[in-house]
Amino acid sequence: MRLASTSSNQITALCGGLGGARLALALGYLAAETTFITNVGDDWQVGEVLVCPDTDAVIYALAGLFDEDRGWGVRDDVFPGPRENEPPWFGLGVRDRQHHEFRHELLMGGSDLADATAIIVQRLGISARVIPVTCDLNSTSIDTSQGRLAFQEWLVRDRAQPQVTHVEWPGAAMAAPSRDVLTSIETSDVMVISSSSPVASIEPSLRVPGVREALIARKERGGRTVVISPIVSGHLPVGPRDTHRAHARETLMQAMGMTPDLAGIAEWVSPWASHVIIDPVDADSTKLLEHAGLKVSLAPILDQSIESRAELVAAVVSSTPRSA
């Protein structure tokens, strides 16, 4: 399949970890002219080093290093076990740790998170721009039946089991968008939102002052903002990782008062998005999404074959939606 091309640097992606990595892989050569704005809600201090799972998933995917099976970290990495002062349940591979240590040096040397990320990206020979949405702290806090937990404690240590009463971003009001984030949202030809978890991966970025407003202004000007649906309701999760991800996504959506289905997605995105891509297995939800004012295209979302990825990207960049 031939993909429509865009002129230089005209795609901006607001993305989470796995969703961002999969988009980067699907975009192929178009990734080089894409700005990836990444979620920092999952960022987390492990011993001495700051780990940025969503930013790193995108970087690793762009560098051809991403472990697609695991859904995080570096492919073929080895895990020698935790060091002192590190949680035993959060594994850092050797290559992954080197990456965190390099970022740590840059941060200690006075770079902010965006500059450190740009240096890392350049060192890996990546042409795309990768910008953490903010250089300020904007961690996701999970209020549960067992008290307040950091996102990784809830997701990884406790396997998303504690009942969630509330999700919060205590740092959001004081966070400033990183340089070029708002301009990229305002000026790119195509804006694409790609995540497998709306609350964990996208909502933290929308809470950074100015980001949601920039998306709303873009929509009002008639700009194209395409959401790749984080939900494919016609597919049951396959295997324990997928089941865990789906359970976490649903739990967080419910805690935010969203219904964990395509109706919930429609309500969530319709104030700031113009288009939504759903998987062909969900074609019978087209009317529901159109009713929310969204233009709907059908393209394979979960299938990771070359053909399916090309079809997904064609739906993202095409100026006229493929009719559903």
By the rule CB under 6 A, 77 interacts with ligand FO1: no
* Neighbouring residues of 25: CB distance < 8 A, sequence distance ≥ 6: 61, 66, 68, 304, 309
What does the angle CA 276 – CA 282 – CA 287 come to, to the nearest 5 degrees? Answer: 65
Q: What is the number of residues in the chain? A: 324
Could you say whether residue 56 binds ligand FO1 (CB under 6 A)? yes
Q: Which is nearer to ligand FO1, 114 or 214 (CB)?
A: 114
Gap between the Cα atoms of 197 and 183, Å rounded: 25
* Binding map of ligand FO1 across residues 6-25, x = CB under 6 A, - = no contact: ----------xx--------
Task: Give the residue with the Cβ less far from ligand FO1, 103 or 309.
Answer: 103
By the rule CB under 6 A, 313 interacts with ligand FO1: no
Q: Which is nearer to ligand FO1, 157 or 179 (CB)?
A: 157
Give the count of residues interacting with ligand FO1 (CB under 6 A).
16
Rule CB under 6 A: say whether 33 interacts with ligand FO1.
no
Q: How many CB atoms lie within 10 A of CB 306?
A: 11
Residue with the closest Cβ to ligand FO1?
A: 17
Q: Which residues of 128-157 are buried (b: 16+ CB within 10 A; e: fewer)?
A: bbbbbbbbbebbbbbbbeeeebbbbbbbbb
Decide: is 51 part of the binding site for ligand FO1 (CB under 6 A): yes
Residue reference for tokens 């649903």? 250
Q: Is 96 in the site for ligand FO1 (CB under 6 A)?
A: yes
| Distances in whole angstroms, Cα of residue 306 to Cα of each of 154, 267, 312 | 34, 31, 10
What is the nearest approach in angstroms of ligand FO1 to the Cβ of residue 39?
8
Is the CB of residue 54 less than 8 Å from the CB of residue 40? Answer: yes
Q: How far is the CB of 289 from ligand FO1 (least distance, A)?
A: 25
Report if residue 72 touches ligand FO1, rule: CB under 6 A: yes
* 241 or 322: CB nearest ligand FO1: 241
The span from the CA of 76 to the CA of 62, in Å, is 16
Interaction site with ligand FO1 (CB under 6 A): 16-17, 42, 51, 53-54, 56, 72-73, 90-92, 96, 152, 155-156
